[in-house]
A = this chain, B = another copy of it.
Amino acid sequence: MREKIEYDEALNLLEDSKVEILGRERVFLHDALNRILADDIYATINMPQVPLSSMDGYAISSKFKNHAEFVVLDDNPAGKDIIPTIPLESPIAIKTFTGAAMPHGADILVPIENVEVIGDKIKILKCSEVGEFIRDIGTNYKKGEKLLSKGTSLNANYIGLLASLNCVFVNVYEKPKVGILVSGDEILELGEQSSLENRIYNANGHLLYAKVKEYGGIPKLYPILKDNKELIEESLQDALKSCDLVVSTGGASVGDYDFISKIAHERKEEVIFKGVKIKPGQHVLYARFFGKHFFGLPGFPNATLVTFELFVVEILLKMCGSTMQRLVLRVPLGVDITKKDKRLELRVCNVVEKDGQFCINFDGKKDFLSAILNNFCPITSCKIGLVVLREEEYKKDSVVEVIMLG
């Protein structure tokens, strides 16, 4: 068990942690949206399979390239049941529409705007080059070409591409089941009433529920736990048995009622780290209990959110099989900053676009100590990020790292 380690050491320990991707499952194409592809995908045919016209026009043979007048023999729309053949004895054209196969024997496509139609003949005003306006065999992709990599998060564009490949079913990685334990005598479940003014609603449970879904896991929300060591131990054991990853909030600090911390102390040979020199979230804990990944997150919602994003997501994405990387930008500070504390601070900021550049501000942000989620929920929608403050002082316009959130 390493205690009170540096931020970068925590990240390294997580990076080195062995994470097994779960199994693969086969889902219908529409259900594959936002899932993680579990196979590399290769083209099984050339696309197009035959040369296709990419304009509405007239197909001719280059043998008659220097002729001006052509007899129009046939109409060749896209999807015609027979691909026509152009006779090569005389200057013949076949009207060939966008997406239609080029007639056999034709290698020039003259767009309709470059011909004059005279009865059943055409006069070519401007002849095209051989192959121009024609999509040749394999232009899109060639048989055997790698088109998609496993680990890709399938957005709508990929769904379209998979459809073009006639993939009715797609192999994706199973979603990990993530147990969420919330502890604290002060926590009320939503809808519960209390006349006591020292109660707070279960923000953490529902925050984590939604976060797990956003990052591709299946959340399992456990009943709220009172500050009772036996109860917490029992639920933790159950969660470790039935889930792939377990996250708790609260009870991770050093106080008399911090039972997660006490349990971790009893199993310290399985704890990878306990305490990271960051603000917020210094009491975060990472362990492998019974081989399962366990994170003890602090109970203040802002610290819960930040430690989930920084640490849990590292493991969760790997478990989902995703190759997605956290985006970290370097952006100039708009203000001077003097930290109150020597710890590395992750300060939430708004990331807004101005003149085509990202810049950051702290508009509407309240003091971190106030332990609030509002800072992460801008009233006028914009992206948010975490500014990584390593030094004690920053001057305006210093360039800082910003970890982009969502």
Q: Give the B-binding residues of A (Cβ under 8 A).
A: 29-30, 33, 47-50, 52, 54, 56, 75, 77-81, 83, 97-101, 112, 133, 135, 139-141, 146-149, 151-153, 155-168, 184-188, 190-191, 196-207, 209-211, 213-214, 227, 253-257, 299-301, 305, 323-324, 327-331, 353, 355-358, 366-367, 369-374, 376-377, 379-381, 384, 399, 401, 405-406
- How far is B324's CA from A116's CA once the two chains are assembled, in angstroms? 49
- Decide if B141 touches A374 in the complex (CB within 8 Å): yes
Nearest B residue to A308, CB-CB: B156
Which of A197, A323, A330: most chain B Cβ within 10 A? A197
- Decide if B372 touches A353 in the complex (CB within 8 Å): no
- A156 neighbours in B (Cβ, 8 Å): 207, 210-211, 213-214, 406
- Decide if B201 touches A160 in the complex (CB within 8 Å): no
- How far is B384's CA from A406's CA once the two chains are assembled, in angstroms? 16
- Decide if B101 touches A148 in the complex (CB within 8 Å): no
Least CB distance from A355 to B in Å reads 7
A29 is contacted by which of B152, B190, B380 (Cβ under 8 Å)?
B190
7 contacts between A and B (CB under 8 A): A47-B200, A52-B198, A77-B227, A83-B197, A155-B210, A160-B210, A166-B188
Given contacts A151-B381, A198-B79, A99 and B184 within 8 Å (CB-CB): yes
- Decide if A98 touches B190 in the complex (CB within 8 Å): no
A157 is contacted by which of B112, B148, B376 (Cβ under 8 Å)?
B376
Given contacts A77-B227, A353-B327, A376-B157, A254 and B371 within 8 Å (CB-CB): no
- Decide if A166 touches B79 in the complex (CB within 8 Å): no
- Decide if A99 touches B299 in the complex (CB within 8 Å): yes
Given contacts A77-B257, A323-B381, 17 further A-B contacts (CB under 8 A): A30-B210, A50-B197, A78-B198, A80-B185, A83-B198, A98-B253, A101-B197, A140-B374, A147-B377, A155-B406, A156-B210, A157-B384, A160-B373, A163-B202, A163-B207, A164-B301, A164-B373
- A327 neighbours in B (Cβ, 8 Å): 353
- How far is B80's CA from A256's CA once the two chains are assembled, in angstroms? 14
Least CB distance from A133 to B in Å reads 8
- Decide if A135 touches B329 in the complex (CB within 8 Å): no
- Decide if A190 touches B161 in the complex (CB within 8 Å): no
Given contacts A49-B197, A159-B206, A187 and B377 within 8 Å (CB-CB): no
A356 is contacted by which of B187, B214, B330 (Cβ under 8 Å)?
B330
- A324 neighbours in B (Cβ, 8 Å): 381
- How far is B209's CA from A388's CA once the two chains are assembled, in angstroms? 40
Nearest B residue to A186, CB-CB: B79
- A205 neighbours in B (Cβ, 8 Å): 163
- A197 neighbours in B (Cβ, 8 Å): 48-50, 83, 101
- Decide if B377 touches A164 in the complex (CB within 8 Å): no
Nearest B residue to A162, CB-CB: B206
Nearest B residue to A133, CB-CB: B369
Nearest B residue to A40, CB-CB: B379
Nearest B residue to A96, CB-CB: B255
- Decide if B80 touches A377 in the complex (CB within 8 Å): no
Given contacts A155-B406, A164-B200, A253-B56, A357 and B330 within 8 Å (CB-CB): yes
